[in-house]
Structure 1
Amino acid sequence: MNVSEHCCRGVISIADTADIVTAARVMRDQHVGLLAVYRQDDDSHRLTGVLTDRDIVMQVTAADRNPHTVRVQEVMTRQPILAYEHDELRDVLQVMRLAGIRRVPVVDASGAAVGIIALDDAIELITGLLCDISGSIRSERHHEWRAHA
């Protein structure tokens, strides 16, 4: 299974010069915990970093900084761990576990962000597989019962 089959498509992004209040509002309005960050002057919006809700809490709120004056580029994670569309999901999940992160941007061959893979996506996949397995077992039992009745 590769990452592109299971990631959430559509990346919510923000310019690196935006203030933290704006970033937090985008996260709230879009119901996301990670924003892809691009350089303000880059029309192609190539990924230059990521900003998470945890970055805001740890580096702005807990540090008692004024969120109106702090810019995304000051607290974003530069050079984040990335997954490429063709990467194996299992390998990406292992990297996430070792790095202690819940979300990873997914990029295409040119490095453009195309999605986000989150632990929630893996849980949803595993849950679906378990339901399929459980359904097969129930179906087998039902067929066995009908055959012996």
Structure 2
Amino acid sequence: MYIKSISELLSDRPMFSIDATRTVGEACMILSTRNIGALPVVENGRLVGILSERDVIRRCVIGGRDTSTTLVSEVMTREPVTLGPEDSPASAMDIMLAGQFRHLPVCDAGNKLIGMISMRDIPTENRLLVERFRDYSGMQAVYG
């Protein structure tokens, strides 16, 4: 089934997020129990950052910080790249590949969090279309 917009991927899915004033330990519990790799960070419903497993490892574990006292706001990635609900899965995949992201928050025009998608959420059909287009574009560049 070909999915035309990100909003189609988000329908009937639970949304998880964490407040910037919570601890990294609390965030890790959500990541672990929900089997997810990143959490959007919100203040008053607005996206202010994203906390990924990679952020926790690089900024807490390796840095020797205590996850039970370190606040999410201290280690999150601020101003993450976002998608809008009208964006296509193909554009989401392009952004993920270009930025080496595995997760992207989805926000409305007012930066209110709507959901989160990961690379694994993009259906195989959409990924194959993007790959074929890239192959074709590469051939055009080489053979004109």
Alignment TM-score, normalising by the size of structure 2: 0.77
CA offset at residue 50 of structure 1?
A: 0.8
Matched residue SS, 1:84: coil
CA offset at residue 76 of structure 1?
A: 0.4
For residues 120-135 of structure 1, the aligned pairs below 5 Å read 120-122=120-122, 125-126=123-124
What stretches of structure 1 move > 4 A for 4+ residues in a row? Answer: 127-130
For residues 81-120 of structure 1, the aligned pairs below 5 Å read 81-120=81-120
| Match status 1:56 vs 2:56 | yes
Residue 22 of structure 2, aligned match among 18, 30, 35: 18
Gaps of 5+ in 2: 129-144
Aligned to 1:139: none
| Superposition CA RMSD, Å | 2.0
Aligned to 2:6: 3
CA offset at residue 127 of structure 1?
A: 5.8
**Counterpart residue identity of residue 10, structure 1:** P
Gaps of 5+ in 1: 131-149
Alignment TM-score, normalising by the size of structure 1: 0.75
Using the aligned pairs only, state the percent identity.
29
Tell me, in whole angstroms, the C-alpha distance in 1 between the residues paired with 2:8 and 2:86. Answer: 9
